[in-house]
Amino acid sequence: MSNTELLALFLHFLSLSVFATGGAISLASDMHRYVVDQHGYLSHTQFVNSIAMAQASPGPNIMFVTVMGWQIAGVKGALATTIGLSLPALIFPFVVSRLGRKAQFERGLRAMQRGLGPVAIGLMLSTCFLLVRDAPGVWKGAAIIIATVALLTLTRIPPVLLIFAAGGLGAFIPW
């Protein structure tokens, strides 16, 4: 990957981050459009694998972005996507801390929370739609998705155990 492409990747994740609300995973739909559909840096399977590996490993949610970058261009790619997505979060907190907490600030904060919440839900649903539509193995993937949702809703099994169980199951069934 050329340095220009690397810079463009960094800038794309940076531009996404500025609009990030409600977690990095809600941006997955847009990331997919860029790295899979437009540039073909990753296949759809590699994209989903990044999310799967991050869910199975300890660490914050944004680690799927790190592994995605690493799959695209090694350490340089990992730094481009991770720093791109994090950079605003390294700057704005310092600014906000030094502004002081005025009444208008509190009001604005609440308005942003309430206003951006529903937009974030729409983004999360978009991510779901993308991932469910192209689930691996058609009905086998669908069965695992449905079983996971049911178990998470009805029981208190830790999610990571379900991921490992599905991994074990997946290793032994033909796809």
Partner 1 sequence: MDELASEDAGPPPELARELFLAFAWISLQSFGGALTFIERTVVRDKRWLSAKEFLGLYAVSQVLPGPTGVSFCVLLGDRFLGVRGAAAALGGFLLLPSVIIVSVATVFQQFQHVPQVQGALHGMGAASVGLIVTTAFRMSRTLRGQRIGIAVAALSFAAVGLARLPVSTVMLTLGVLSVWLAWRSRHP
Residues 21-80 that bind partner 1 (CB under 8 A): 21-25, 27, 29-30, 33, 45, 48-63, 66-67, 70-71, 75, 78
Of 82-141, which residues contact partner 1 (CB under 8 A)? 82, 85-90, 92-94, 96-97, 107-132, 135-137, 140-141
Q: Which of 17, 35, 42, 81 binds partner 1 (CB under 8 A)?
A: 17
Query: What's the CA angle centered on 103, arms 115 and 17, to 5 degrees?
Result: 40
SS3 174: coil
In residues, how long is the chain?
175
Q: Which of 7, 43, 157, 159 binds partner 1 (CB under 8 A)?
A: 159
Beta carbon nearer to partner 1, 7 or 169: 169
Beta carbon nearer to partner 1, 6 or 54: 54
Beta carbon nearer to partner 1, 7 or 92: 92
Q: Which of 20, 42, 72, 73 binds partner 1 (CB under 8 A)?
A: 20
Beta carbon nearer to partner 1, 7 or 157: 157
Q: At what angle do helices 63-99 and 3-18 cross, to 10 degrees?
A: 50
Q: H or E element: which one contains 32?
A: helix 28-32
- Two tokens, residue 168: 């074990």
> How many residues lie near partner 1 (CB under 8 A)?
107
Beta carbon nearer to partner 1, 6 or 85: 85
What is each CA distance from 25 to 2, 119, 165, in whole angstroms? 27, 14, 22
Contact of 36 with 44, CB cutoff 8 Å: yes
Smallest distance from partner 1 to CB 42, Å: 12
Smallest distance from partner 1 to CB 2, Å: 22
What is each CA distance from 85 to 10, 45, 79, 152, 157, in whole angstroms? 8, 22, 10, 29, 31
Beta carbon nearer to partner 1, 4 or 153: 153
Integer Cα distance of 77 and 90 in angstroms: 19
